[in-house]
Amino acid sequence: MSETAEKKKVIFSAIQPSGTITLGNYLGALQNWVKLQDDYNCIYAVADLHAITVRQDPKAFRQNILNAYALFIACGIDTEKSPFFIQSHVHTHAELAWVLNCYTQFGELSRMTQFKDKSQKHADNINAGLFTYPSLMAADILLYQADLVPIGIDQKQHLELTRNIAERFNGIYGNTFRIPEAYIGETGAKIMSLQDPTKKMSKSDENVNSWVAILDKPDTIMKKFKRAVTDSEARVCVGEGKDGINNLIGIMSCVTGKTTDEITAEFEGKGYGDFKTAVGEAVVEKVRPIQERFDRLIADKAYLEEQYRKSAEFALRLSQRTLDKVMKKIGYVAR
């Protein structure tokens, strides 16, 4: 992406480098990231700074970062169109985060529901980073003067806080930050657990049969779909009390492009066993080219390094402009 790129709106988004990307992550977020590249100036990052609010094993963490980077490219992120960098490689994120900490109120952070939830989950490690996490997220977004941020429902509160911080800073020092809006595109696919379809699919679920990873082997994917929870009606159609089948129809629609009506017509008179097998096979075919690209990319460390270094250099040049403006307005002595 060139710094003189045409004036499309800017989108910023980042995702943490967990060890696993689920089918839900892909259909709900990553697939949309790929589509957005045609219509917006997109800036993407692997949010590794955010990841250390939870203790990480260094060796596994390093590999997870590289795996995430390779997998997102395999899914369709085009580094020629969209800078895609590793967050810790761009020092302006941590620098602006500290500044914004000083323009974020304690009460605002203490009201963040994600902080409350994670504090309960990691009661033995309620660290300051977990508390100030939203200020770093605000820095991520505001550094690039983003117009739009694709968010899930769990991040809505953080984006509102980002807007509040930006408006507060602008109110004190004059126009500095663009006020970002939530990006609401096509209805994002909300993929539910295969074992409890009232809950969102999540890799943190202890039951490994409840979620499918993009890099799961075909046999594993098939087993998980064959074990998917359904209902007793044995009719493939959308309806009340049919959360399991509704979810499977949604997945089938996402991976094949078929409408709900086309799917229900295709499986009229067929049992759930046939349908679950068909959904599993469709998912296997959907992820097969991604897995093949990932295998090639993760084996080519030189190529990956070239891409993340090039993107980080671009992101640093762009974000440094915003940081310099902020530092000057506050009254710091120029470097």
In the chain, where the domains are located: 10-189+301-330, 208-294
Is residue 5 very low, low, confident or very high in pLDDT (cuts 50, 70, 90)?
low
pLDDT in tens, 259-282: 999 999 999 999 999 999 999 999
Catalytic residue selected from 118, 224, 242, 276: 118
pLDDT reported for residue 145 = 98
Average pLDDT, the chain: 92
**325/112: higher pLDDT:** 325
Give the contacts of 77 (CB within 8 A, at least 6 positions apart).
Answer: 30, 33, 34, 37, 44, 84
Kindly report which listed range (12-16, 69-73, 168-172, 209-213) carries the lowest average pLDDT score: 12-16
Q: Are residues 12 and 146 in contact, defined by beta-carbon separation less than 8 angstroms?
A: yes
pLDDT of residue 19: 67
Burial class of residue 120 in the structure, from the number of CB atoms within 10 Å of its CB (0-12 exposed, 13-18 middle, 19+ buried): exposed
- Do 208-294 and 10-189+301-330 have the same topology in CATH? no
For the question of residue 203 being annotated catalytic, the response is yes
CATH class of 10-189+301-330: alpha beta
**Percent of the chain clearing pLDDT 90 (strictly above):** 75
Task: Determine whether 200 is an active site residue.
Answer: yes
Active site residue 118: yes
The yes-or-no verdict on residue 325 having pLDDT over 60 is yes
Residue 7: exposure state from Cβ atoms within 10 A (0-12, 13-18, ≥19): exposed
Does the pLDDT of residue 204 top 90, yes or no? no
Who's near 268: CB < 8 A, 6+ residues apart? 236
Looking at residue 197, its pLDDT comes to 94
| Res 41 pLDDT > 50 | yes
The CATH class, in words, for 208-294 is mainly alpha
Helices 128-142 & 156-173, crossing angle to 10 degrees? Answer: 70
Q: Which two tokens stand for residue 228?
A: 């998917």
Q: Which of 200, 224, 276, 286 is catalytic?
A: 200
Q: How many CB atoms lie within 10 A of CB 108?
A: 16
pLDDT for 1: 52
Instruction: Give the pLDDT mean for 136-163.
Output: 90
Q: List the catalytic residue out of 9, 81, 190, 203.
A: 203
Q: Give CA–CA dist 72/88, Å, rounded.
A: 17
Q: What is the pLDDT of residue 25?
A: 86
Reduced to 3 states, what is the DSSP secondary structure of residue 183?
strand
Angle (CA) 164 170 172, round 5°? 105
By C-alpha distance, which of 320, 330, 328, 333 is closest to 92? Answer: 320
| Cα gap 146→157, rounded to integer Å | 17
Provide the 3-class DSSP secondary structure of residue 235: coil
